[in-house]
Amino acid sequence: MSSPGEYYNSLPPITKAYGTLCLLTTTASQLGLVGPAYIALFPELVLKQFQVWRLITNFFFLGGFSINFGIRLLMIARYGVQLEKGPFERRTADFLWMMIFGSLTLLVLSVIPFFWTPFLGVSLVFMLLYLWSREFPNANISLYGLVTLKAFYLPWAMLALDVIFGSKIMPDLLGIIAGHLYYFLTVLHPLATGKNYLKTPKWVNKLVARWRIGAPVASVRQAGGVGAGGPGAGGGVGGGGAYSSARAPPESSNTAFRGRSYRLTD
């Protein structure tokens, strides 16, 4: 059995960073080091007083210490990790771009008064849950030990439970909208037309390579990964070529998921 430190170190980089920032932000709020109102998304303060940090910090607050906070953090640790280690394995740039696109989508939606919510962290977590449910639709999930259902229906079941227990429906709904938009643009639309309009930008690949985020090329070679490259391979983005995100085809494939389509079965 691994220790907490070993488990933490084994987490994939993007999910680990996001979960850590959420935990630190909530801890700082509980200790009174930073007030939620100072990091919340208020468009008028962003536009009129140029408090641009609110466009980012609002994604790291999942509420005060509570059962709901614990559930959201566990959702990151389970569904985010399974996505990054599964369909996005050795494709750190693609996973990071998915998170960036989801965040931008949520920010655009929040401009509409009907959709506005001061914190979009729960919505971003729910987007991860939705995408996980589309990638593993036939997985059997036990919901609080009361009922077993297919993973495809899990986001809607969680949304219904939030409504029953008095939580706001809008954050969950925004996450589903953002998740489905990403899934449509990267999976459904390319399947229907053969065109992918949401390719991972080159600057994201360069950023991942520059900061050496993700699995080293050596580990890709040992795993028999395609495109690890030999001494004569083309130079990786960012100059060093030390990390697979810059050179290996899986990292720059610009396809969201390995799976194509799914049919629910018994």
pLDDT band at residue 1, thresholds of 50, 70 and 90?
A: low
**CA-to-CA distance for 28 and 220, rounded, in angstroms?**
38
pLDDT digit string (tens) for 133-174?
A: 999 999 998 887 788 999 999 999 999 988 888 889 999 999
Closest by Cα among 248, 238, 175 to 204? 238
**CA-to-CA distance for 134 and 225, rounded, in angstroms?**
25
Please tell me the predicted confidence (pLDDT) of residue 167: 85
Please tell me the predicted confidence (pLDDT) of residue 112: 94
Task: State the pTM of this model.
Answer: 0.80
Which residues, including other chains, have CB under 8 Å from residue 189's CB and lie 6 or more apart?
A: 195, 196, 197
CATH number of this structure's domain 4-193: 1.20.1540.10
Please tell me the predicted confidence (pLDDT) of residue 72: 94
What average pLDDT does the segment 13-39 reach?
95
Cβ neighbours, 10 Å, residue 90: 23
Residue 264 clears pLDDT 70, i.e. is over it: no
Contact 257, 263 (CB under 8 A): no
Cβ neighbours, 10 Å, residue 97: 24
Please tell me the predicted confidence (pLDDT) of residue 248: 34
* Sequence ranges of the domains in the chain: 4-193
**CA-to-CA distance for 239 and 227, rounded, in angstroms?**
17
Residue with tokens 């993007």: 14
Higher pLDDT pick, 256 / 85 = 85
Triad 75, 79, 84: Cα angle to 5°: 135
Residue 216 clears pLDDT 90, i.e. is over it: no
H helix and E strand count, the chain: 14, 2
Instruction: Share the mean pLDDT of the chain.
Output: 83
Question: What percent of the chain has pLDDT above 70?
Answer: 80
pLDDT digit string (tens) for 165-205?
A: 888 999 999 999 999 999 999 999 999 999 998 999 999 99
